[in-house]
Amino acid sequence: MKNVVFLDRDGVINHDSPDYIKSWSEFEFLPGSLKALKQLTLNRFPIIIITNQSVIHRKMVSKKDLDFIHDMMKKSVQSNGGEIKDIFYCPHIPQDRCDCRKPNPGLIYKAKKRYRIDLETSIMVGDSAKDIECARNAGCGSAILVKTGNGVMAEKILKEKMIHPDVIVPSLLEAVNWIVARNSPATLPDNS
């Protein structure tokens, strides 16, 4: 599968919270994110969410509750013309030292194995330094930093670490415009 767009969730698709997103009532789409997801879908970019969700380990949310939030998110995206192919999340805290928590590439590798993804043509969009580092660690073709969520702080961290996103944009909608302008699979033969 080519031209997969990996998206972080909190701070990219929906508003982030220092208290975590613990229920569907706390989940609020960022302005333009539903339009952006529709645009990716219409241009035949498969969308896969890659997200750290330590709320599971912290016992703030059950797996069932998180699945409900994700089901509702997917239904909302679908009713607005978009489609999320899959969601991969890490339930651990940093101290667990797992291979699936970003910036480690475990979730992307899991998605690659399940869908036979060509990582060289894939794109990661995130609002944190961990997202950009994850993209580089996994070998994604492009990494885009959005300034929603933690994007402004992430810029400083990435500069200190000398890790460079391919582009920095204000939001997911501008990221999608950048992606579509550069390589729309709608104009390419389907080689998936």
CA dihedral for 135, 103, 62, 21, sign (positive or negative): negative
pLDDT digits (tens, 9 = 90+) for 5-18: 999 999 999 999 99
Q: Which domains does the chain have, with CATH numbers?
A: 5-182 (3.40.50.1000)
Q: What amino acid positions are annotated as catalytic residues? A: 8, 10
- Between helix 63-79 and helix 33-42 the angle, nearest 10°, is 70
pLDDT digits (tens, 9 = 90+) for 114-173: 999 999 999 999 999 999 999 999 999 999 999 998 888 999 999 999 999 999 999 999
Candidates 166, 131, 112, 109; CA nearest to 7 is 131
pLDDT digits (tens, 9 = 90+) for 47-88: 999 999 999 999 999 999 999 999 999 999 999 999 999 999
